[in-house]
Structure 1
Amino acid sequence: MSSKSTLIKSSTAVAGLVVLGLLAAPAFNAATSLPVEAKSSTALSPMAYAPSSFAPLVEKVRGAVVSVQVRREASDSGLSRREFYFDFPDLPGTPFDEFFKRFKRAPGSKSPHRKKRRGVAQGSGFIISADGYIVTNNHVVKGGDDITVTLDNGKKLKANTIGVDKKTDLALLKVKNGHTLPYVEFSDTEAKVGDWVVAVGNPFGLGGTVTVGVVSARGRDIGQGSYDDFLQIDAPINKGNSGGPTFNLNGKVVGINTAIFSRTGGSVGIGFAIPASQAREIITDLKQHGGVTRGWLGVAIQKVTEDIAESLNLDDDHGVLVSQVTGGSPADKAGLRTGDVILDVDGRNVRGPRDLARKIAAIRPGVEAKMSILRSGSTRELTVKIGTLSDSGGKAPATDGGQSSSTGFGLQLQPATDGKGGVMVAGVDDGSQAEEKHIAKGDRILEINNDKVNNIDDFDAAVAKAKKDGKRAILMLIQRGKTNRFVGLSLSKDGK
């Protein structure tokens, strides 16, 4: 067996981690527990040391923990071991690309089209209100068109996706029950390193599994995105625990289990949970708006290294160095310049690029933020009116579990930061028409229907105009490297 660690996300192997609850786990027939009545959220008395038994805590919270089963289409290429591929990645949209798509399979293959089959993924979740709102991970429900939630008493309920946030891997579901449901609450206090924690979830389809451990570390960056701020826990969690809660000894949720580090695919005592302090605000946005609105500054930044700090006569290496300012952005309008060092935001020190990204994202668009910057050896104050960052989570249609992005074409967009205009493709959803047309991360969208696109508002306005004019498709001019090409995208294919 290879000694390398793996990251399995949407069935994709990447080095480092195992994201939980993505693969269909075997189902086991377990004894059905008695119905659980809704309990109040009265906290248990804090305990400085491990209790003689965790049973009272588990009895209190387990009724609010659910198993999540997601049915979705899975691709089956039907390849034999003798089949092979030609790989010419730089030919999308060309006759050669079409040629190799048609003839990339071995002689005798019946069809170049992938077969579609139904797959089932399992994960965990927890109820946060008596009327049936449920928190889980986005990767648990991603691409799902049929979501079933199993309560602790064995009752099965259909769930709808209210909203998802891909950037933090969170999703909010809703079930209809007709009766009040037991629920739990997020903790108002930060979990500390060394605190006891109890994880409850559905590993490998074994619902109601309880494990115990401690908070091993805080603020972990596991390379999943700009907003990584994970708790590290040693309570054993496995595939199927994704989206499940980690509780403190008061029965409050301190984290949402999301990933593990493993060389075997099973728990080795290194798990990662989204902290409650981050999840609470995201879930509130999803519940109220179906999506998440984040603040936007409009700068490219880099870490202040020890050498850079020394060259700038900084006492330490906190802060971030501005390497580029987007024209017309909030930063540009506030007078921020290339070479400035952002030291703090609203009186809070900036520890690095990810810390600044989280701080700015947490500020509501339209709110003015105070920034301390270092410029030419002098400290000065700037006031910045925060803008809106385009977010790909958006409100998820009930039929696709949050797979579509805010564009409706499977495109995730972000402003161009190099001053060359257009908007940048930050990501492309699997199976979307954008993927079918070979649009890729890093492409620059310059025009829509011959109208220049200089920002995301221009993009949205051009699409809205095309719809208003009764057009069935839009024509986009896309730049990749030094090459431009046109791509047509249907306005109806994604149901928009």
Structure 2
Amino acid sequence: MSDTKKPNTTKTILRTGTIAGLAALLMAGTVPAMLTPAHAEAVNVQAPQVPSFADLVSAVSPAVVSIRVKSDVQQASDDGSSFSFNGRDLDQLPDPLKRFFKEWGMPGQGGRGGPDRHPHAERHGKLRPVAQGSGFFISEDGYLVTNNHVVSDGQAYTVVMNDGTEYDAKLVGKDQRTDLAVLKVDAPKKKFTYVNWADDSKVRVGDWVVAVGNPFGLGGTVTSGIVSAFGRDIGSGPYDDYIQIDAPVNRGNSGGPDFNLNGQVVGINTAIFSPSGGSVGIAFAIPASTAKSVVNELIKHGEVKRGWLGVQIQPVSKDIAESLGLADAKGALVAEPQAGSPGEKAGIKQGDVITAVNGDPVKDPRDLAKRIAGFAPGTQVDVSLWRDGASKSVKVDLGNLPAAKDMASNDSDQSQSDNAGPATEKALANLGITVKPSEDGKGLEITNVDQNSDAADKGLKVGQTITSVNNQDVAKADDVTKIIDQAKKSGRTRALFQIQTDNGSRFVALPISQG
């Protein structure tokens, strides 16, 4: 017998079968599970690349600072009992609100993002932290811009750089009407990184903006968004002309800049709309063009001097325009010239509509206020008026706009005669009001208003006084009837009523076409 080994026929058949099977599987396009790679590859999505703000933020951040404000004002009690919110003491609020307001203080006035009460006020020493906000350098020698409402109550100011370096600053000037202020850091050996103003006339709705600031005292926080709208009037003053942005802005961002993609300042954060106190994506910024001119004045003079006309004005609605025979609802209706003001001295009267200044048309009261404020005190301007159905003009030597606190005290008290006139009531059914002669004999007191009438819709209330109709004084109901009849004969469908209220005088156009 031979010693040669015989091949294992079974194994050979299995190997042959396996190879044949693999060949069949490969030809069929399938791979057994046992041949799957042991390690799967990481997910790698080739998505479109979104532009980064990192280079922009790196460049501008050294110019943006946090501002700490100190004062010797009396510190609130530990339990916050001196605060109130919607008429409720702090200890009456729900626990979440109570904790929030104890930490951060009560909300700033006027819906603003500040002044932001410092969360950790000192308990000892004369000067205590009272507010904090944001700001930015506009020159290498240390001039920086912030909000007036951030620094207005302060006596000492500390500027904190993005690297944590602190400098003392002094107040150069502030302007309440535009909510701007300028501080100065004196550091002769230091050249500060600073930023320039953008040309906001070239900014469009939808453009990117990047906000850098100090929300809730965190410092160096960056948010982004777009320009949402221009020309927003939020009722904070006669020069409201804000840029609306949707970048998240919170308490402490006040005074901080909004940059375009070139690193230029488009606007300065000054207010937020927020039912909750936090960002809801609606913030308001002072336009760069406004800020630039005001800041230059503050640096030069420490204050802003504006021209002053001295008249109370209101918008010209379509109804008012029709009642006065104006073709367009434009201009500013003079509700009352202030006694001794430049406007009164020049002959501007109640019921006049200011239609132009130096030949430039006036769109509305806000436009007029900005135009007059743009002139230096002492400038003579040509004011175009619409009076008694015709155009005329007067020359006005503008005065110096009084400080806001002085303007608030200019309201004159209305004297009343001790001799009461007849109290016979007469109904003016067409207008939906009932009147009687005023006790001082000047005008007609409203004694009843039909709540379904145009008069009620226009805000007329019991106790208010009608002093004139179509710029003619009235003392009895018959006077109103005669004036309305004259207006009807002239083809008018509305009459202009001057209404005296506790808050001053205003004009209302009421329909007279019926009856």
Verify: 1:67 aligned to 2:33, yes or no. Answer: no
1:130 to 140, 143, 156: 140
Aligned to 1:192: 204
Inter-CA distance 373–51: structure 2 relative to 1 (3 Å threshold): farther
Name the aligned partner's letter for residue 60 of structure 1. Answer: A
CA offset at residue 346 of structure 1?
2.9
Aligned pairs for 1:67-466 (under 5 A) are 67-76=66-75, 78=77, 118-178=128-188, 179-190=190-201, 191-392=203-404, 412-413=406-407, 416=410
| Larger Rg over CA atoms | 2
2:245, 2:281 within 8 Å by CA — same for their partners in 1?
Answer: yes
CA contact (8 A) 1:324 1:417 kept: no
Whichever residue aligns with residue 276 of structure 2, its letter is T
Check if 1:56 corresponds to 2:55: yes
Asked whether the equivalents of residues 196 and 248 of structure 1 are also in contact (C-alpha less than 8 Å), the reply is: yes
Local SS of the residue matching 2:55: helix
Q: Once the two structures are superposed, what CA deviation does each residue of 1:152-209 show, in whole Å capped at 9, x if it has no partner?
A: 2321100000111111111100001222111111123323322211111111222221
Shift of 1:79: 8.8
Note the C-alpha offset of 1:82: 10
CA RMSD of aligned residues (A): 2.9
- Deviation track 1:426-485 (CA, whole Å, cap 9, x = no partner) reads xxxxxxxxxxxxxxxxxxxxxxxxxxxxxxxxxxxxxxxxxxxxxxxxxxxxxxx9xxxx
How far, CA to CA, are the matches of 2:285 and 2:272 in structure 1?
9
Alpha-carbon contact 1:231-1:273 (below 8 Å) kept? yes
User: Shift in Å at residue 347 of structure 1?
Assistant: 3.5
- CA distance in 1 between counterparts of 2:313 and 2:376 reads 21
Q: More displaced, 123-132 or 152-161? A: 152-161
Q: Distance in 1 between matches of 2:149 and 2:178?
A: 10
Shift of 1:290: 0.7
Q: CA deviation at 1:121?
A: 2.3
* SS of aligned partner of 2:200: coil
What is the Cα deviation at residue 119 of structure 1?
A: 3.3
Give, in whole Å, the separation in 1 of the partners of 2:146 and 2:138. 11
**Between structures 1 and 2, the one with greater helix share:** 2
Question: Is contact 2:68-2:129 (8 Å) kept?
Answer: no
* C-alpha contact (below 8 Å) 1:127/1:133 kept by paired residues: yes
Contact 1:148 1:157 (C-alpha < 8 Å) held by counterparts: yes
TM-score for both structures, normalised by structure 2 = 0.59
Alpha-carbon deviations, 1:219-254, whole Å to 9, x = none? 111121222211110011111100000111222111
Q: Give the whole-Å Cα distance in 2 for the aligned partners of 1:183 and 1:76.
A: 35
**CA separation of 1:77 and 1:253: change in aligned 2, threshold 3 A:** closer
| Per-residue Cα deviation, 1:4-32 (whole angstroms, up to 9, x for no partner) | xxxxxxxxxxxxxxxxxxxxxxxxxxxxx
| Pairwise CA distance, 1:385 | 1.9
Offset at residue 416 of structure 1 (A): 3.7
1:245–1:256: 8 Å Cα contact kept in structure 2?
A: yes
Distance 1:117 1:286, change over 3 A: closer
* Alpha-carbon shift at residue 301 of structure 1 (Å): 1.6
Structure with more contact order per residue of length (Cα contacts < 8 Å, sep ≥ 6): 1
Q: Which amino acid aligns with 1:129?
A: S
**Secondary structure of 1:60's match?**
helix
Alpha carbons of 1:80 and 1:154: their partners in 2 closer, same or farther (altered >3 Å)? closer
Q: What is the rounded CA distance, in whole Å, between the counterparts of 1:385 and 1:302 in structure 2?
A: 22
Distance, in Å, in 2 between the alignment partners of 1:289 and 1:63 is 28
Question: In the superposition, relative to structure 1, how do residues 417 and 321 fare at CA in structure 2: closer, same or farther (>3 Å)?
Answer: farther
Deviations 1:86-128 (Å, cap 9, x if unpaired)? xxxxxxxxxxxxxxxxxxxxxxxxxxxxx99833422100000
Q: TM-score, normalised by structure 1?
A: 0.61
Task: Give the gaps of 5 or more residues in structure 2.
Answer: 1-48, 85-123, 416-501, 503-515
Number of equivalences: 326
Alpha-carbon distance, 1:76 to partner: 4.5
State the alpha-carbon separation in 2 of the partners of residues 176 and 235 from structure 1. Answer: 33
- Measure the CA separation in 1 of the matches of 2:131 and 2:80: 26
Separation in structure 2 between the aligned mates of residue 365 and residue 350 of structure 1, nearest angstrom: 20
Gapped runs of 5+ residues in structure 1? Answer: 1-49, 86-114, 393-410, 422-480, 482-496
Q: Percent identity?
A: 53
Contact 1:74 1:119 in 2 (8 A): no
Shift of 1:132: 0.3
- Would the aligned equivalents of 2:70 and 2:127 in 1 still touch at CA under 8 Å? no
